[in-house]
Amino acid sequence: METTFHIVEHQDLTFMRICIFGAGAVGSHFAVRLALAGHDVSCVMRGPHLEAVKAKGLTLRVDNAEFSARVRASDDPAALGPQDIVISTLKATGLRSLAAGLRPLLCDDTAVVFAQNGIPWWYDIGLPPDQPPPPDLAFLDPGGPLRAAVSPQRIVGGVIFSSNEIAAPGIVVNDSPERNMLLVGECDDRAGERIQRLRTALDGALIQSPAVPRIREAIWTKLISNMSVSVLCMLTAKTARAAVEDPALQDVVSRMLDEAQSIARSCYPDATRGSGAAPIHRPSLLQDYERGRPMEIDALVRAPQAFARAAGLVTPTLDVFAALAICRARDKGLYQDKAI
């Protein structure tokens, strides 16, 4: 796949102005692909990564191949102008910066794609009536700045399947060359031209984006792994594959995945864990812990716990994982408890 990746001429039907808001590892990867596919790509980023991108552009490494693209980049969204699509690849812990900086990027019909791990802040917005109501998730948007900044008609849900890490400022390494996917869907699950146009743009950039009938079910499918394997990696400092394949942990992994799947199925009876080998990759939760960054424990662990309680499910393994993860993160100053 990567050996045939090249710049293509854009067509009026698919060319878009796309802003990646919070272009870290995943966002930078997607920015390179979209730029090389002919889109007008800009990035909101900061620090040494921003300075490197301004000076030399963005570089994506996949296996032994390397791809570079020039993108407009700034830590000030107002410098980038109105966009057709804003794709937020911020972690849940960083979304307040989007609420504060989004307005200059918006046209009347700009969509905002929330491509993040875990239960999203907008979960209850546009929820179709045939789907079970969620518990109170106000702790995912304390004070409501995201609801104030993003109107419901702009919200597009996103689910990322792609393993990446910033190797150096301006350089991102992709650890999953055979699986780079961004699933997208309207928050009310309706089909429409906007989603089809976005999916066409992603597919044209070699970012797989198959149709999904219910975006929240796709969120839960990924979350089954995130709330189990990713948390275990954070606790053990192992890669996902090493954690899953460690004989001493296999029973724990199995029980945790069973509990996670039971929570998902309380909302979507057909939800199931993903298949295939776990990647040789350090999940973002572990990367954040090691690098002293705020951690997505609320979206990845505490929100699923709230769903379990609402459904009357007993989740002893998840509860232990949650307590240990919270203690480790809090003791390092990377998490503050919030009431549920």
Q: Domain containing 241 — which CATH number?
A: 1.10.1040.10
248 and 274 in a single domain? The answer is yes
Contact status, residue 35 vs residue 100, Cβ threshold 8 Å? no
Residue 297 included in any domain: yes
Residue 144 included in any domain: yes
pLDDT truncated to tens, each residue of the chain (340 aa)? 343 444 444 444 468 999 999 999 999 999 999 999 999 999 999 999 999 999 999 999 999 899 999 999 999 999 999 999 999 999 999 999 999 999 999 999 999 999 999 999 999 999 999 888 999 999 999 999 999 999 999 999 999 999 999 999 999 999 888 889 999 999 999 999 999 999 999 999 999 999 999 999 999 999 998 888 999 999 999 999 999 999 999 999 999 999 999 999 999 998 887 666 788 888 989 999 999 999 999 999 999 999 999 999 999 999 999 999 999 999 999 998 764 4
Query: What CATH number did the domain enclosing 205 receive?
Result: 3.40.50.720
Assign 174 to helix, strand or coil.
strand
Q: What is the dihedral of CA 164, 167, 172, 178, to 10 degrees?
A: -40
Name the residue range of residue 86's domain.
2-213
Return the pLDDT at 9: 41
Give the span between the Cα atoms of 194 and 199, in whole angstroms: 9
70 and 187 in a single domain? The answer is yes
93 and 23 in a single domain? The answer is yes
Nearest to 176 by CA among 216, 209, 212, 207: 207
Domain end call among 198, 213, 228? 213
Domain end call among 163, 187, 213? 213
205 and 224 in a single domain? The answer is no
Nearest to 44 by CA among 69, 29, 24: 24
Return the pLDDT at 28: 97
130 and 198 in a single domain? The answer is yes
82 and 186 in a single domain? The answer is yes
Residue 336 included in any domain: no
Quick count: other Cβ atoms within 10 Å of Cβ 331? Answer: 9
Residue 99 included in any domain: yes
Domain end call among 213, 238, 271? 213
198 and 256 in a single domain? The answer is no
67 and 178 in a single domain? The answer is yes
pTM of the model: 0.92
Give catalytic residue positions.
222
7 and 137 in a single domain? The answer is yes
297 and 169 in a single domain? The answer is no
Residue 269 included in any domain: yes
184 and 222 in a single domain? The answer is no
Residue 338 included in any domain: no
Domain total of the chain: 2
57 and 192 in a single domain? The answer is yes
Return the pLDDT at 197: 95
Contact status, residue 18 vs residue 45, Cβ threshold 8 Å? no
Looking only at the bridges linking them, the beta strands covering 40-44 and 72-74 are: parallel
Q: For residue 61, give both structure tokens.
A: 């490494």
